[in-house]
Amino acid sequence: MLQVAVLREQTAAVLAGLAKRNYPTGEADVQAVLDLDQRRKDLQTSHDKAQAEANELARQIGGLMKTGDKAGAEVLKARTTELKQQTKAHSEELTEVEKTLQQQLYKLPNLPHESVPAGRSADDNELVREWGTKPELPADAKPHWDLIEQYDIIDFALGNKITGAGFPVYKGQGARLQRALINFFLDEARAAGYLEIQPPILINEASGYGTGQLPDKEGQMYHATADDLYLIPTAEVPITNLYRDDIIAPDRLPIRNAGYTPCFRREAGSWGAHVRGLNRLHQFDKVEIVQITQPENSYAALDGMVAHIEGLLQKLELPYRVLRLCGGDMGFTSAITYDLEVWSAAQQRWLEVSSASNFETFQANRLKLRYRPDGGKTQLLHTLNGSALALPRIVAALLENNQTPEGIRLPQSLHSYCGFDTIKGE
């Protein structure tokens, strides 16, 4: 959530940032915030003035009563009653104005970092670097949805039977590969200094607002209405919310957490060939890395997170590229995002497998997540997160890129985790 002081004191820069995001109603929405903020100030001033006058009259009434001037005291009491009615009305309106102001602030996305390129869609994203050699497959190479059927390692029909489309059943070597990848990613995160967290996979409304899923992505989350809880779209949400309303001691920073969870996304409106097989699911497994750090250190932390994710892809021997997202393609809460995509040899296209983002103070302001540097005033921290990694498209690329007549050969880094080096079916 953007800070009112920033909107008030840096209005031109805020409008320029919203324009880079192609946010259509930036000027009107910012002005609405400023008007509400001014109304809040005026109401608070009137309330405080009336309260101060009432306090002074109470003192005077006491003096008049001591001198026996009951008539004079009654006049002042009548005025005090008027003032009490005024302060009550001011308080009630102030509550409504503050509520409306909060909702108006929730509508505004984060401002992009100065390094974010301008643009409207994924076509305008900036290529940062590319790694690896794209494998050359024979003409009869199969896409992963045919390979998983050939080796009987993932079953979409069974998932559809027990739940619905987008909820696959992993079995045999497919299930073992899932478990191997999760353990591999968690072990790599722990070796890099991340503390492993196993959080709940249901969150309350406050947690959704805290990290920005609500109200922006409400329709994309599964909602357990009886208990008013939401299935998480990513482990970022519960892990970051561990620190909601906290003032973090400087010697605890940076906080570096990693967690594996299943993730749930309704993906309403998704259809077509680009979502076939493992390309897009309603439930999938992912390891997430999260950092909370001082503002001056957050961009170095982001670079380190991207390097960690790249290291995982290199150990998996998957060709990849790193993209810096343009203003029009970034998520609502992000100040800057790097996407990492792997090459799918059979589909002949890049598949996004990770996003690493710096949210700067946007989430921290919602979370009231602060620290107190050198014993001074509290300041907002910066929050960051990255996928390290999401499994479905990693599995898709591993299957497609490594298919041979003898089976699917896995990279060396996974052999000890899987207990086998080639997928041949069971």
Task: For residue 355, say whether it is annotated as part of any ligand binding site.
Answer: yes
Task: For residue 93, say whether it is annotated as part of any ligand binding site.
Answer: no
In this structure, the strands spanning 223-224 and 126-131 are unpaired
CA distance 343 to 75: 83
Question: Would you state the structure tokens that stand for residue 62, as one six-digit string?
Answer: 């006491």
Question: Would you state the structure tokens that stand for residue 311, as one six-digit string?
Answer: 């290291």
Cβ atoms of 330 and 177 within 8 Å: the answer is no
Task: For residue 413, say whether it is annotated as part of any ligand binding site.
Answer: no
Task: For residue 361, say whether it is annotated as part of any ligand binding site.
Answer: no
CA atoms within 13 A on the CB side of 292: 32
- Which residue spans within 51-190 are E strands per DSSP? 126-131, 154-155, 169-170
Task: For residue 288, say whether it is annotated as part of any ligand binding site.
Answer: yes
Residues 6+ apart with CB under 8 A from 39: 97
Alpha-carbon Rg of the chain, whole angstroms? 28
DSSP 3-state of 188:
helix
Q: DSSP per residue over 337-349, as a string? A: EEEEEEEETTTTE
Cβ atoms of 167 and 160 within 8 Å: the answer is yes
Task: For residue 266, say whether it is annotated as part of any ligand binding site.
Answer: yes
Task: For residue 225, say whether it is annotated as part of any ligand binding site.
Answer: no
Whose tokens are 């919602």? That residue is: 366
End-to-end Cα spacing for the chain: 51
Among 399, 404, 320, 145, which Cα is nearest to 414's?
399
Residues 6+ apart with CB under 8 A from 239: 197, 199, 257, 259, 288, 290
CA distance 214 to 205: 8
Task: For residue 267, say whether it is annotated as part of any ligand binding site.
Answer: yes
Could you list the residues known to form a binding site for ATP, using ranges. 265-267, 352-355
Binding residue ranges: 234, 265-267, 288, 352-355, 385
Q: Which residue positions form the known binding site for L-serine?
A: 234, 265, 288, 385
